[in-house]
Amino acid sequence: MRYKPYMRVATGLWALDKGVKMIELNLLDALVTRFTNLFKDYELPSKSGLLQTVKVFPQYLPQPSGATVKPKSDKQSIVPQGYTATDIESNFPCVIVKLGEVTDKEEGSLDQARAAVQIIVGIYDGVYDKEKESYVESKDCQGYRDVYNILEKVRQDLLTMPARILEGRYRLDMPMTSGLTQEQDWPYFLGYMNTVWEIARPLMPNNYDY
C-alpha cells in the first residue's frame, strides 16, 4: 500500500487525506465507549432528586439547552456558564474524556508517539431525604467519596487490561495520576485522572513521489 502524502485541507492545517480519521480521535472514541459500558449500571444522586446513571462525554459537556453561542468556561469548574438546573439534572453525574497533547519523537525512539488523555469526573453531592423521598443537596461535603469511587473504578479497569493495551492498538503508559481538583464548586465535586497512551504514527517513506 502506497504511503498517503500529506494534503492541505480547507481548515489550513496539514493533515492526512480528509477521509482518514486521526489516530488520537480513535483513542478518544475507544475510551468513551469503554467507560460508557463500565458505568452503564452505575447510579448516583442527581439534582433531579433521583438516582441517575453516570454519563460519559467526549472532550466537553454539552452546551446549555437553548444556547446560541458557546459559553465561556469557568476556570474553577467544568460546569459551563449558562447551565440551568435542567442542564445539570441531565448531565450530572458524568465522566468527561479529554484528549490532550500529542507528542512525536524521532524515529528509533522507544516512545515515538504519545497521546495525553485526561479523565474528568463530576458529581452532584446528594443525600437521600426520607421526608421528601428524594435526594437533596448534602451539607456534609462528602461528595469527594463518590469522585474517588469513580476514579478507582476507572483505574482498576485500565490497569487490568491485558498488557495494558486498549483494543489491541493503544498501550497505557506509566505513571498514571489521579486526585481531586484543588477548587471544589459545592454541591459539585470534581476529580481527574491523567493518562498517557502509546499510539501509532505514519512511517516516513524511503522514497518520495513529487
CB-side neighbour CA atoms (13 Å) of 115: 22
The least confident of 58-62, 68-72, 74-78, 156-160 is 68-72
Q: Give pLDDT, residue 6.
A: 33
The more confident residue out of 27 and 210 is: 27
Q: Give pLDDT, residue 5.
A: 34
pLDDT above 90 for 172 = yes
The more confident residue out of 201 and 96 is: 96
Q: Give pLDDT, residue 198.
A: 92
The least confident of 11-20, 88-97, 141-150, 170-179 is 11-20
Query: Under a CB-based contact definition with an 8 Å cutoff, are residues 138 and 146 in contact?
Result: no
Q: Give pLDDT, residue 101.
A: 93
Q: Give pLDDT, residue 78.
A: 58
HEC profile of 131-158: CCCEEEECCCCCCHHHHHHHHHHHHHHH
Q: Give pLDDT, residue 37.
A: 97
Give the CATH fold of the 21-63+71-198 domain. Answer: STM4215-like (3.30.2000)
Please give the single-letter amino acid code of residue 201.
R
Q: Give pLDDT, residue 85.
A: 65
Q: Give pLDDT, residue 69.
A: 45
The least confident of 68-77, 89-98, 143-152 is 68-77
Predicted TM-score of the model (pTM): 0.76
Q: Which single residue is written with the C-alpha cell 458505568?
A: 39
Closest CA to 179 of 97, 101, 119, 127: 119
